[in-house]
Structure 1
């Protein structure tokens, strides 16, 4: 068996099932993720009634506190435990969504009410996301962690796909109040799940004598000092800068540039999602590559030709773009299914939530830079040129990852 072979079971031995507490937790959190997608659509729709400025303000009210407080949120998760932080976050969001449903019933919600709720969402996210990212480490053993995260990736992708259409249906049928109540229901579900599910594996917490700001700074220090984690964060930044904007920003611009319909852009996005889900399901069944760092880098190398196909599909038509989208999604899924367990198993037990916070922060900042730079380039030289740059950048990042010693030599536990 070569170092790049997928993990397989011994002859005649069945692969053990993932622990039931993890599957129950996963079902609850994916339901909550679906509810969040519904809420984001509903907030955006309600804000659009007050104009573009209000819409931008609502989005900023989510993004700004989440970005500013992420590192502190990671320190809180490591201090008090991921489960406790998630329970507190779900309780706050259940209260906030019920209050929004009550205040918005019968009337159009005011802009400031929407901004206030958005700010609560962003603030809770800053504490909730690092805790949720580190929670699988306390529910499954390290040997099953890559498969567990692959299942989580596939389920999350499906929830994201269904969220916006479901939000549109709920808003059309029951207005903002109906959509918000649906989200409140998912928070109630995951709150019950978190109360019932108990961690099966002990995770060491950071010392209580350490201040939260000092703990946040120490998380950054560990991420920068550790060669494996530092390399993983750099690859994540590259993926956020060159790979993620293809899905969210450049696909619609390419469709307009080539005279394609909105349906064609949706088909390309659907192909990308299909590729992600397909690879995640394979990894959940077979496991990651033994050289887990090399697997993450290979994901970017696989995605690069898919992005190039999307960029060059103008004359060939939508079919080539959809095929390129599937390949792009497959590479993205391969990257995500390896980088997640790499960071989670490579992080010290006392820094799990802080490493997840660093990962999220790096991705968010790189995505902001990438979206703005690529949007400017597309305005000046066309979406095809911007997408071709993404293909080049993704390929260069993948090849660099293959050459980095900390990742090239890293084996899966």
Structure 2
């Protein structure tokens, strides 16, 4: 994550120096196209060949691409086209890397620790954003874009042996899986992928009270689909990638927890990204807070989100996760709307801390539910769908928010955005399986 932060800073600096602001903006956004187009295919690759192997391979490619750019800048002035090519390559590899990273936690830890892992990942992201920016700026100051790219390549290279040291367990045999059905092992009818089940324990029913009510295996399986017939990797069985892709989408669509959870993620990102990115800058300018005021407000949001991640990392499990996520979303949406009416910087920072705390808590819980409610064999594709929802819809919120603020002002736009976020909490409360979803004990 730190290497990625340094890379993006180096890319933006090099693009600004090599072309016009419009051209630099194009270079910075061009990586989003292959990432969005190929994400679902990346999820299939992660599930077919295993997330560890895919993460290591894609990380090595990322390192090689950034190192090549560092060498180019050390030897010559490459201009904009190589930067654009690097951005496209990085976005393409990200389409494989992101689903594999999302599928990896379930392969290396028990299910009752997955929520804690999400909290630690959140802390890692906050740390990377704090450290990566200044580190990239130091690289640029010392030796320009070449040094910054070289530093990013070094940081990514260091992560490769760490990933190689990660050990995962193999899939259970079909007999093991058959014996696990009575304890709640469920999946879908077509099993592509090589993810683990015995490392995380048998999957529980998606609804927390289904097992406690003593429901039948058929009733429990109905929460997430029929049971999987085979523990073999789809690649080993000769299944086609297209069949895996369709099977993954069908799995998400038919899942009583994951399907509405994807809608919650979409509403949250659509309503949240605009105000906290474009909207906050315009609000600070409108109120005369200046760049310092905007920076302090963003810092408040980061502090709140970090506190939520720390809470989850330490506690590990939050009872009634579905209900807590719903109420956190609803309360957080109110805080987002109130941010536009803060009378001063101090009040804005306090409100931002509250937004970060509630949004961080709800986001971490949604991520933990996504991890724990998914069959590990489908986590790559489930993560790909969730990432596509975020990466595809969230960017729409920024230009829409900017245009709407130009017409109606910050107050109404923040309120509407807050209402969109709040709909995510309403969705959770309206879908009983998601509302009653629990994290494993």
TM-score (norm 1): 0.88
Q: Tell me, in whole angstroms, the C-alpha distance in 2 between the residues paired with 1:173 and 1:245.
A: 35
More moved, 200-209 vs 272-281: 200-209
Instruction: Give the counterpart of 1:215 among 216, 221, 244.
Output: 244
1:384 deviates by 2.5
* Offset, 1:60: 2.9
Aligned to 1:307: 336
Shift in CA distance, 304/69, structure 1 to aligned 2, threshold 3 Å: same
Deviations 1:374-409 (A, max 9, x none): 122112112232112122222232233223212112
Deviating more after overlay: 248-257 vs 196-205: 196-205
Q: Is the 8 A contact 1:82 1:353 kept in 2?
A: yes
Alignment of 1:199-348 (within 5 A): 199-200=168-169, 202=171, 203-204=195-196, 206-208=233-235, 209-313=238-342, 316-348=343-375
Equivalent residues in 2 for 1:150-161, closer than 5 Å: 150-161=119-130
2:78 equivalent in structure 1: 109
How far does residue 152 in structure 1 lie from its aligned partner after superposition? 1.1
| Residue number in structure 2 paired with 1:360 | 387
Matching residue within 100, 117, 134 for 1:148 = 117
Contact 1:242/1:370, CA 8 A, preserved across alignment: yes
Q: How many aligned residue pairs are there?
A: 379
How far apart in 1 are the matches of 2:25 and 2:243? 33
Aligned twin of 1:11 = none
What is the CA deviation profile of residues 178-234 of structure 1, one whole-angstrom value per residue up to 9, with x for unaligned ones?
111111111211111122221157424641222223322222211111120011101
Aligned partner of residue 439 in structure 2, secondary structure: coil
Q: Which residue of 1 aligns with 2:7?
A: 39
Which of 390, 409, 416 is residue 389 of structure 1 equivalent to? 416
* Shift of residue 295, structure 1, vs aligned partner: 2.5
User: Aligned-pair distance for 1:168?
Assistant: 2.1
Separation in 2, partners of 1:213, 1:369? 29
For structure 2, the residue ranges without an aligned partner over 5 or more in a row are 172-194, 197-231
CA contact (8 A) 2:5 2:132 kept: yes
For residue 48 of structure 1, what is the aligned residue in structure 2?
16
Following the alignment from structure 2 to structure 1, what is the Cα–Cα distance between the partners of residues 279 and 77? 33
Whether the 8 Å contact between 2:337 and 2:415 is mirrored in structure 1 is: yes
Q: Distance in 2 between matches of 1:363 and 1:65?
A: 15
- Which residue pairs with 1:85 in the alignment? 54
CA distance in 2, matches of 1:374, 1:206: 45
CA deviation profile, 1:270-323 (whole Å, cap 9, x unmatched): 10010011011111111332222222222212312321221101xx11111111
In 1, the alpha carbon distance for the partners of 2:86 and 2:317 equals: 40
What is the rounded CA distance, in whole Å, between the counterparts of 1:338 and 1:238 in structure 2? Answer: 15
Query: What residue ranges of structure 1 are gaps of 5+ in the alignment?
Result: 1-32
User: Distance in 1 between the 2:63 and 2:132 partners?
Assistant: 18
Partner of 2:429: 402
- Report the CA distance between 1:106 and its aligned residue: 5.1
Superposed CA RMSD in Å reads 1.6
Query: Corresponding residue for 2:186?
Result: none
Aligned counterparts of 1:264 and 1:362: Cα–Cα separation in 2: 31
* Residues in 2 aligned to 1:79 and 1:406: alpha-carbon distance in whole angstroms: 29
Match of 1:131 among 92, 100, 106: 100
Greater displacement, 163-172 / 119-128:
163-172
The verdict on how the C-alpha distance between 1:206 and 1:372 changes in structure 2, with shifts beyond 3 A counting, is farther
| Higher deviation after alignment, 351-360 or 293-302 | 293-302
* Structural mapping, 1:2-17, within 5 Å: none
